[in-house]
Structure 1
């Protein structure tokens, strides 16, 4: 697999200059791991009532941490629970059990506490057209957050600065424009500016380039990386595209049916994936280290009927091929539930991986 990352950002008017204003540069990866998480979920569970009196286990025990100045990709197929995790991290969903902490403090769910938190953690949606009111100008769209939070001083300068940081320059050129007058990439930059205007410390981006043309995806991804590097922002990027994660993330958490099944650095996960589900996802990338593409059979089970044992076992290529049987873990795959991955360290949740690790001498 090639390790080339996306090129430097280019905005609507050519290469983008350095971000204006003071910058709090992101710490290097080793320093990020040594400090307290910017945002974390502890034993997070979110359940919903489903028709027929059933219960959907949308998030079923998740431990995840976002380190200061880090971009964490939350990846998996549609319906795996990653968007519910993102919404819960933002306080838009209340967990059934477990806690969300921001800089070590548990998130409060009172109106005042949530309003204060949302100055620090902002959401970027995947559909900029749906996120913007067609009757509001760009200025009003970006200024909305300031007005909600009662920030009235220097509004014009704050809006102009946010638009400039998002790559829309000169900012004043866009003040009176309406969303329908902008390109898809420009609309997404307005959405990002609306998040930046409150000077948050965390951004959660839900499929931030899914609705954009391929020609502008790289620009938006490069913009998010520059915001991380120049402003010290931390970001969770929800995606089904591991190629996107390869380009932008420092770490990847792979989700399947409400659980994280593998988490680690982007280089480790995408060059040496261990979980059979992750291997299948990585196998379809160009120059994949896994070899030929692996096609998973069937669809992910319904969250109201999570299989026993390993929840991936009905679709697992290692079980279907006899590899799990040869390793002596086939029965465990079908019957023994795996523990929730712990917080704060790289790990893989798989009976086969555990068997392989047990077979390797400690000094190997």
Structure 2
């Protein structure tokens, strides 16, 4: 496999709270994105996905661990971050909020070029980015304002604003969540085409496993700050092994599992991570007694921190570990 371009190693992000409490929003994450690879990061709202994305972008500082681009660790000087963000671009889920309503589409796309001092051939660069994003003829949109475009066109304009800097990686946070179903497929097809044309890597943040199935090469499932299962998307979504992943997959329309699995309770507060396995209070295997052989471990030992090995289907679960040993 191609060497990763964007990497997180043992990444942790803590936030101080009133009363001296600490929230562990990200807690021991290893993750890689290679050129031309689309990785989906999935999980419930509040599981740490967006904090992880912000940390990979340099918008949050890691409390522990590191972020690297190529062989270079992420540095937080103004100059270093500026150069880094030219290569690692963000696409937000709400194109309306991402576009200044007072700026024309031309100015919105050209903004990144101006920030980075890339003013030579500005018009040509903007036109090329709009065309690559599917807004053709590009000149037709130069003087348009965001409110004059459809939702899908606005999202294409946001994507063009990222493409104009010729990035190597994009981080897309719920990139089609605000779009009509009829437009979602077009935007996903666009991202797949850009991957092929530009060898563009992408980390797609989503709660929608159907979207992950449609677009991703690999998927990482996140629960309460930690990745609990990861691997090739076909393997993880057709043979889910972690009880949390199984619950998420079980409610898909074409789920490979026989019946829906209902999780008990809500996602715990990141400032009150349960002792032992952090998923145990909601785990259907533990509650039913099917995990009795490892119940002591579930109560005493947290989930292991998975490595970033991209070639394997890996799971952080005490029950799965003992079942795997028995099968061997």
TM-score (norm 2): 0.98
| CA deviations over 1:254-286 (Å, ceiling 9, x no partner) | 000000000000000010000000000001111
1:87-126 equivalences in 2 (<5 Å) = 87-126=54-93
| CA deviations over 1:308-356 (Å, ceiling 9, x no partner) | 111000000111122101xx01121122123211122431000010010
Q: 2:303, 2:138 → 1: CA distance? A: 52
| CA deviations over 1:226-273 (Å, ceiling 9, x no partner) | 100111000000000101000000000000000000000000001000
What is the SS of the residue equivalent to 1:94? coil
1:336 alignment counterpart: 301
* 1:142 and 2:109 matched: yes
Q: 1:95, 1:166 → 2: CA distance? A: 32
1:315 alignment counterpart: 282
1:56 alignment counterpart: 23
1:1-364 equivalences in 2 (<5 Å) = 33=1, 35-325=2-292, 328-345=293-310, 346=312, 347-361=314-328
What is the SS of the residue equivalent to 2:302? coil
Q: Which runs of 4+ in 1 moved over 3 A?
A: none
| CA deviations over 1:66-107 (Å, ceiling 9, x no partner) | 112100000000000011111111111110011100012111
Q: 1:321, 1:176 → 2: CA distance? A: 62
| Aligned residues between the structures | 326
What 5-or-longer segments of structure 1 have no aligned partner? 1-32
| Cα-Cα RMSD | 0.8
What is the SS of the residue equivalent to 1:280? helix
Q: 2:72, 2:257 → 1: CA distance? A: 41
Contact map agreement 1:37 1:104 (CA 8 A) in 2: no
Contact map agreement 1:262 1:348 (CA 8 A) in 2: yes
Q: Which moved more, 1:331-340 or 1:109-118?
A: 331-340
CA-CA distance at 1:51 after TM superposition: 2.3
Q: 2:180, 2:3 → 1: CA distance? A: 37
Q: 2:49, 2:106 → 1: CA distance? A: 32
